[in-house]
Structure 1
Amino acid sequence: MLVNISIAKVNKHGKNIGGDTAEIVERPLGGVTGIIVDGQGSGKPAKIISNSIVGKISTLIGDGARDGAVARAVQDYLFTIKDGRVSATLTMVSVALDTNSIVITRNGHTPVIVLDEHDEIIYEEQVNPLGFYKFSKPQINEIPLKAGLTIMAYSDGLVSAGKKYNNNITHNQIIEILKQQITTQSKADKILELALELDKDRPNDDTTILILETVEGDNKNIRKVTASYPI
């Protein structure tokens, strides 16, 4: 089995620095975690918050902490340093080989979409973000690891795509692309392109899309990471 993770992101129109931070981290007991953190607001202040949170998450995962404990730790960290005045949303999608499962962790209102050959599941329970409330807890869902899964997480910039033109992006439009027989990166790219089209190429907010897929295959234990960064 192979795990493919792809990220596509864009800053809010007019901002050189976006407030979203995304990362992919290998897990010490086997597997990988995809992370999205969206700092409150946009620009440099939001980026400082989201980047510091992702850095702490990466360290905690590397130390072997479980995802729920990681989310609680960064919640306490943000609440402490900002005295409950600044928030951030967090989504983590982990392929955990020690439990042979996929763990989805959410602090915030953005959904996570899960598809397999039979079902469509959208985890969209309202969950408090990080930082505002002293005892915020993450929403955690765990599903068995198997081939044929497509899981998509995203920041709220995608939710608002097209809103100012009364033409919001819909779950059906997103799912239609996720079901296409194209690469994982192509799916992320096409969904971001749709969001930009609905916003007339002037994105209303920082937007990050992370897609994780499990597929049958064997790459001889070779791990690959690629990135494209505009200058």
Structure 2
Amino acid sequence: MAVGRTGGTVIRGAGTALRVVIAVQQAGKYASAASGDTVEVVQRPGSALSVLLVDGQGSGPGAKALSLLLTGRAASLVRDGARDQTVLDSAHDFLLAHRNGLVSATVDLVTIDPVASELRIARHALAPAVVGDDVGFRMTGPVSGPIGRWQVEPAATFRTGIVAGTTLVVTSDGVAHAGDRRGGSPLDLAHALTAAGLAGATPGEIGEFVMGLARDRDHGRPADDMTVVVVGVRADADPDRSMTMRVSLPVTKRGSQ
């Protein structure tokens, strides 16, 4: 299964009007009944938006149930206006208390905050995150281990200004480790995006490239659930200042092949 989604929200400023575009690409593990990754876009009080990416341990229906549960709890805190770290800490405490340290999950929380004029990432994830501009892409910094274990690392954080051309890319570990089981070299996502000349490309184009690259590294049969979230800030000359969202997903009837 593959899912694609794009959406945009407008940011007004003293200069050129900007639009933040969110693109999501998702594919389940080959021959698995359900993806263990869940993505949700959540409106915060005021004008801010957050994107949650939760990757439940394993794959299939059990992992999906876990990621849906954690996403729901985290999203409710985001809607209440909780700080990024509070959201992650609460998700960790909940999972630890209910699964006794036996089950883990990774969480990425990307926030678009027009009031502070910044993009933020707070995450417990081992898959590297990438930031780009009109020149190229680079890693956002250190990574952090998953939530749900008795020993948990501090969340990895990154922030940058809302500037035209800025792009953030986060993925689940199915993308980061694509090709590993076949003896391939580790995926250097920042280098791959820069080499492909995607600096300044649309978030949708970037998301499609990353997903296509990951699937190719697994020879079209993803070894794990794959999700790509791209958040891009672009100059906006469109007189229609509304927020839009488009979702595209395949539908298979029960019992069909």
2:50 alignment counterpart? 33
1:227 alignment counterpart? 247
Q: How does 1:78-227 map to 2 (within 5 A)?
A: 78-118=95-135, 120-133=137-150, 136-168=153-185, 169-171=187-189, 172-177=191-196, 179=198, 182-219=201-238, 220-227=240-247
Q: 1:178 to 1:224 in 2, by over 3 A?
A: farther
Distance 2:138 2:209 in 1: 21
Q: Is the 8 A contact 1:11 1:203 kept in 2?
A: yes
Cα deviation 1:138-183 (Å, max 9, x = unaligned): 2222222222101100000011212233334332223434725543
**Equivalent residue for 2:69, pick from 52, 62, 66:** 52
Q: CA deviation at 1:9?
A: 0.7
Distance 1:61 1:54 in 2: 10
Q: Is the 8 A contact 1:27 1:96 kept in 2?
A: no
Q: 1:226 to 1:164 in 2, by over 3 A?
A: same
Distance 1:181 1:102 in 2: 17
Q: CA RMSD in A?
A: 1.8
Q: CA deviation at 1:134?
A: 5.7
Q: Following superposition, which runs of at least 4 residues in structure 1 exceed 6 angstroms of deviation?
A: none
Q: Is the 8 A contact 2:207 2:229 kept in 1?
A: yes
2:254 alignment counterpart? none
Q: Is the 8 A contact 1:2 1:218 kept in 2?
A: no
Amino acid at match of 1:199: D
Q: CA deviation at 1:120?
A: 3.6
Q: Structure 2: any 5+ residue segments left out of the alignment?
A: 1-17, 252-257
SS of the residue aligned with 2:212?
helix
Distance 1:177 1:61 in 2: 35
Distance 2:213 2:158 in 1: 28
Distance 2:201 2:160 in 1: 24
Distance 1:135 1:199 in 2: 30
What is the TM-score of this pair, normalised by structure 1? 0.92
Higher mean C-alpha deviation, range 200-209 or range 29-38: 29-38
2:37 alignment counterpart? 20
Distance 2:227 2:168 in 1: 14
SS of the residue aligned with 1:41?
coil
Greater Rg over alpha carbons, structure: 2
Cα deviation 1:23-59 (Å, max 9, x = unaligned): 1112212121122111011111111111111111211
Distance 1:152 1:178 in 2: 15
Higher mean C-alpha deviation, range 143-152 or range 36-45: 143-152
